[in-house]
Chains A and B, each alone.
Chain A
Amino acid sequence: MDKSIALINQRIREGTAQVVTADRMPALVEELGEDRALKEVDVVTTGTFGAMCSSGAFLNFGHADPPIRMERVWLNDVEAYGGLAAVDAYIGATQQSTTLGDQYGGAHVMEDLVSGHVVELRGISRGTDCYPRRNITTELTIEDLNQAMMMNPRNAYQRYNAATNSTDQTLHTYMGTLLPNRGNINYSGAGCLSPLSNDPTFRTIGGGVPIFLCGATGMVVGEGTQHSPAGGFGTLSVTGDMKKMGPDFLRAATMHQYGVSLYVGIGVPIPILDHDMVRSTAIRDEDITVDLLDYGVPRRNRPALRRVSYAELKTGKIEVNGEEVRTSSLSSYRKALEVARTLQGWIQKGTFELALPTRRIDPTVSARPMRETALVPRVRDIMNTNVISISEDESIRSAAKTLLKGDTNHLPVLNRDGTLVGIVTTYDVSKAVVKEEKNQKVKDVMTTRVIKTSPDEHVDVAAQKLERYNISALPVVDNQNKMVGLLTAIDLGKLFGKRWQK
């Protein structure tokens, strides 16, 4: 027997609604069977608490006297977007402080506001006839604002790919610190508690649906940006009144050497209308799988090392190519549970009613990559192909001569068939000369672990290598490790004035 939303709401008002958290649903359905579960469960509450960068808030400050039309606005030295009416601004979570960098950002301003702390507002204007004032500095709390409307364009990812790093250097990413040589795995998301995993066809989640948002009642606006449910990566855009929120479920964070983000707590109540909803809310961590991606490859499509379920990720270690690697969550499962349980409590007390979507979310679409119209420079476009090289059995003296004659600081070392086996620099040769060891050859002083690039690599990626390893040239090799060119810091200069296009 199917249930209507009206019946469920009536039970909520009467205080007789049966509400369970999503983590309990699989065992319940197993125990009772689908028919009895449909009869006995009215609402399943979900929850998630993790970093959601696409978050922010529209703020209205009220008018000053004489009035000002703020063109640029800062809150505690964090710039808010002022391209709106005179005293409206949008504070974005990831915007960083002009004075404190990644230690304080838009997310921290939001946390300070919901904590009731004083925030300094600075605004500037060129002045108009109706708004003559040119600058303003004042201190205010969230109480002083007319509105503080949280408006997050992308939250509550259905699931998220796990991250590891195959390079030999530590990487600092939005997926946290990734240790070298697959030293760890980071993941995010609440698995079976995740709102969208419990209704992947968006039957009950859509525009107009009331939700738990950062401790207050919020609402789903519609699909989130980059909504991509066809591949299992649906998102939501959500809104809520920040004046009713608190810091328990809204926390600023800094991903080391990446930047500021906001931890957002979201819970969606799911009405159990029919058998389909019983089945979709009985999803287990085992059923939700993601790719383990190698963040060592700085491209849009990172290679997947394996498929992994949230159940495996939550055990704390998984196997990758025969090696055990420890896992860490970046989102908090404890807080996600707290969200789901708080929402459960509200519904049981009769203070929170459910609604069906007034605007449906498309469960079939996929997000597209960016359309790029300008040519992106590759290493082949600016590399030097006229490269002087040396072989490993030559003497140090001969290497010194070659360096001088070629007016260069880098000599790639090649074997007979042109394969790159090492590199020597002016520094290596000078050091060998000072040491005065007899009969030293190139192979005794060369660097064999060469940092290199390929003709197809994007120049920005190669430039990042030069900076990260603090070197000034990269040998360019083809896929057989044959040398085809050399990219030096000087070649990067060709990018200016678009000379590389010629």
Chain B
Amino acid sequence: MKLLLTFSKKKNREPVIAQVVKETGVLISVERAHIDSTSGEVLIDVPDTDAPRICALMEAKGITVRILEHGISRNQDECVDCGACVSICPKEVFYLDAEHQVHLRDERCVLCGKCIPACPHRALSQTL
């Protein structure tokens, strides 16, 4: 399950993710992170069964947690199945099937957004 953590610098000066890993023993994989002087946003992936525990612990440490249910979404009316998105995506989310149709492997998406402007037909969007 993908969780989007939002840090605020005022509250957190602790290595929170490391602490949670240590306390729970759950291996957290960090898929995307953006941290600047005032705040930070980190996208992590955790096993579904551990997610409630991780959420509770993160929130107790002052972090805002949001569960991301969907990756990038594709508008079938606009998409012409060219596949321009295929080689742009760092996570290999997109692929063409035997019928030359574009498909998404939603669970791989880390919402980096690189594919959105690369689509010539504006068929991809991010619902946050």
Interface residues of A (CB under 8 A from B): 49-51, 176-177, 179, 184-186, 251, 253-257, 261, 263, 316, 325-335, 337
The reply to whether A177 and B88 contact each other, CB–CB distance below 8 Å, is yes
Which residue from B87, B117, B122 sits with its C-beta under 8 Å from A184?
B87
Which residue from A185, A255, A257, A333 sits with its C-beta under 8 Å from B120?
A255
Which residue from B83, B99, B121 sits with its C-beta under 8 Å from A328?
B83
19 A–B pairs (Cβ distance < 8 Å), ordered by A: A49-B80, A176-B84, A176-B118, A177-B84, A177-B88, A177-B118, A184-B87, A255-B120, A256-B118, A316-B87, A326-B86, A327-B87, A328-B84, A329-B84, A329-B86, A330-B82, A331-B82, A332-B83, A334-B99
Q: Shortest beta-carbon distance, B93 to chain A, in Å?
A: 12
The reply to whether B120 and A330 contact each other, CB–CB distance below 8 Å, is yes
Interface residues on B, range: 20 to 34
- Provide the residues of chain B in CB contact with A331, threshold 8 Å: 82
Known interface pairs A185-B87, A327-B87; A176-B120 also in contact (CB < 8 Å): yes
In angstroms, Cα B87 to Cα A327, docked, is: 6
Q: Which of A325, A326, A337 has most B Cβ within 10 Å?
A: A326
- Provide the residues of chain B in CB contact with A326, threshold 8 Å: 86-87, 92
Q: Shortest beta-carbon distance, A164 to chain B, in Å?
A: 10
Is B101 among interface residues, defined by CB-CB distance under 8 A?
yes
Known interface pairs A329-B82, A333-B100; A251-B87 also in contact (CB < 8 Å): no
Is B50 among interface residues, defined by CB-CB distance under 8 A?
no
In angstroms, Cα B88 to Cα A184, docked, is: 7
The reply to whether A253 and B87 contact each other, CB–CB distance below 8 Å, is no
The reply to whether A328 and B120 contact each other, CB–CB distance below 8 Å, is no
If A253-B121, A327-B86 are given as contacts, then 4 extra A-B residue pairs at C-beta distance below 8 Å, sorted by A number, are: A50-B82, A177-B117, A184-B88, A316-B95
In angstroms, Cα B79 to Cα A263, docked, is: 12
Q: Which 8 A-B pairs have the closest CB atoms?
A: A184-B87, A328-B87, A253-B120, A334-B100, A326-B87, A256-B117, A334-B81, A332-B82
- Provide the residues of chain B in CB contact with A263, threshold 8 Å: 80, 120-121
- Provide the residues of chain A in CB contact with B83, threshold 8 Å: 328-329, 332
Q: Of all chain B residues, which has the CB nearest A185? A: B87
Is B85 among interface residues, defined by CB-CB distance under 8 A?
yes
The reply to whether A334 and B101 contact each other, CB–CB distance below 8 Å, is yes
- Provide the residues of chain A in CB contact with B121, threshold 8 Å: 251, 253, 263
Q: Of all chain B residues, which has the CB nearest A176? A: B84
- Provide the residues of chain A in CB contact with B118, threshold 8 Å: 176-177, 256
The reply to whether A251 and B80 contact each other, CB–CB distance below 8 Å, is yes
Q: Shortest beta-carbon distance, B102 to chain A, in Å?
A: 8
In angstroms, Cα B80 to Cα A334, docked, is: 8
In angstroms, Cα B100 to Cα A328, docked, is: 12
Q: Which of A185, A257, A334, A335 has most B Cβ within 10 Å?
A: A334
- Provide the residues of chain B in CB contact with A332, threshold 8 Å: 80-83, 100
- Provide the residues of chain A in CB contact with B100, threshold 8 Å: 332-334, 337
Q: Of all chain B residues, which has the CB nearest A179? A: B88
The reply to whether B85 and A328 contact each other, CB–CB distance below 8 Å, is yes
Q: Of all chain A residues, which has the CB nearest B116? A: A256
- Provide the residues of chain B in CB contact with A337, threshold 8 Å: 100
In angstroms, Cα B100 to Cα A335, docked, is: 9
The reply to whether B80 and A335 contact each other, CB–CB distance below 8 Å, is yes
Q: Of all chain A residues, which has the CB nearest B88? A: A177
- Provide the residues of chain B in CB contact with A325, threshold 8 Å: 87
- Provide the residues of chain A in CB contact with B87, threshold 8 Å: 179, 184-186, 316, 325-328
- Provide the residues of chain A in CB contact with B99, threshold 8 Å: 334
The reply to whether B120 and A316 contact each other, CB–CB distance below 8 Å, is no
In angstroms, Cα B88 to Cα A316, docked, is: 12
Q: Shortest beta-carbon distance, B90 to chain A, in Å?
A: 9
In angstroms, Cα B101 to Cα A51, docked, is: 18
Within 8 A of A (CB), among B85-113: 85-88, 92, 95-96, 99-101
Q: Shortest beta-carbon distance, B88 to chain A, in Å?
A: 6
Q: Shortest beta-carbon distance, A323 to chain B, in Å?
A: 14
The reply to whether B120 and A254 contact each other, CB–CB distance below 8 Å, is yes
Q: Per-residue CB proximity of B112-128 to A under 8 Å, as 1/0?
A: 00000110111000000
- Provide the residues of chain A in CB contact with B86, threshold 8 Å: 316, 326-329
In angstroms, Cα B97 to Cα A463, docked, is: 44
- Provide the residues of chain A in CB contact with B117, threshold 8 Å: 177, 256-257
In angstroms, Cα B100 to Cα A329, docked, is: 11
The reply to whether A254 and B122 contact each other, CB–CB distance below 8 Å, is yes
Q: Of all chain B residues, which has the CB nearest A103? A: B122
Q: Shortest beta-carbon distance, B56 to chain A, in Å?
A: 39
In angstroms, Cα B16 to Cα A336, docked, is: 52
- Provide the residues of chain B in CB contact with A328, threshold 8 Å: 82-88
- Provide the residues of chain B in CB contact with A261, threshold 8 Å: 120
In angstroms, Cα B95 to Cα A458, docked, is: 40
Within 8 A of A (CB), among B23-67: none
- Provide the residues of chain B in CB contact with A253, threshold 8 Å: 120-121
In angstroms, Cα B120 to Cα A329, docked, is: 11
Q: Shortest beta-carbon distance, A430 to chain B, in Å?
A: 22
In angstroms, Cα B26 to Cα A120, docked, is: 60
- Provide the residues of chain A in CB contact with B82, threshold 8 Å: 50, 328-332
In angstroms, Cα B122 to Cα A254, docked, is: 8
Q: Of all chain B residues, which has the CB nearest A263? A: B80
- Provide the residues of chain B in CB contact with A330, threshold 8 Å: 82, 84, 120
